């Protein structure tokens, strides 16, 4: 069974710092990996989608990398802002109808 782990579970940084969130998964047979953010009481917002054939994706201050063979992904956030405070989730798609989510990293950016 696919297991997705995210480290750290929680992270606090001062505004302006660059930071890295980590995601690991046990089964490398995936179609894609996604990073999401969730704000309290809200649904998930998809941030970046990396297909299994890709190594990285970038969107604004966000960069996600994927090393499928080692079962790892990182989400890099540059120049963090208080508005980045949220829970960040990674999820892998091993099959058409399944999503395996990590437990998330709760990020707090301190003004």
Partner 1 sequence: GAGVSQSPSNKVTEKGKDVELRCDPISGHTALYWYRQSLGQGLEFLIYFQGNSAPDKSGLPSDRFSAERTGGSVSTLTIQRTQQEDSAVYLCASVPSASGRVYEQYFGPGTRLTVT
Q: What is the binding site for partner 1 (CB under 8 A)?
A: 34, 36, 38, 40-49, 51, 87, 89, 91, 96-99, 101, 103-104
Peptide bond connecting 48 to the previous residue in cis, omega within 30 degrees of 0: no
**Quick one: the chain helix, strand, coil %, rounded to 5?**
5, 60, 35
Cα–Cα dist 19/54, whole Å: 22
Cα–Cα dist 104/34, whole Å: 12
**Considering beta carbons, is residue 5 or 28 the nearer one to partner 1?**
5
Q: Supply the minimum distance, in Å, between the C-beta of residue 65 and partner 1.
A: 17
**Considering beta carbons, is residue 80 or 93 the nearer one to partner 1?**
93
**Considering beta carbons, is residue 76 or 101 the nearer one to partner 1?**
101
Q: Supply the minimum distance, in Å, between the C-beta of residue 93 and partner 1.
A: 8
Cβ contact 7:20 at 8 Å:
no
Q: Supply the minimum distance, in Å, between the C-beta of residue 36 and partner 1.
A: 7
């Amino acid at each position: 069974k696919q297991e997705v782990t995210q480290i750290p579970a929680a992270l606090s940084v001062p505004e302006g710092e660059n930071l890295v969130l980590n995601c690991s998964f046990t089964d490398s047979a995936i179609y894609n990996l996604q990073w999401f953010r969730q704000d309290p009481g809200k649904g998930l917002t998809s941030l970046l989608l990396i297909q299994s054939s890709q190594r990285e994706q970038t969107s604004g201050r966000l960069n996600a990398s994927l090393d499928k063979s080692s079962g790892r992904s990182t989400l890099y956030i540059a120049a963090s802002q208080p508005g980045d405070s949220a829970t960040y989730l990674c999820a892998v798609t091993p099959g058409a109808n399944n999503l395996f989510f990590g437990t998330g990293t709760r990020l707090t950016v301190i003004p």
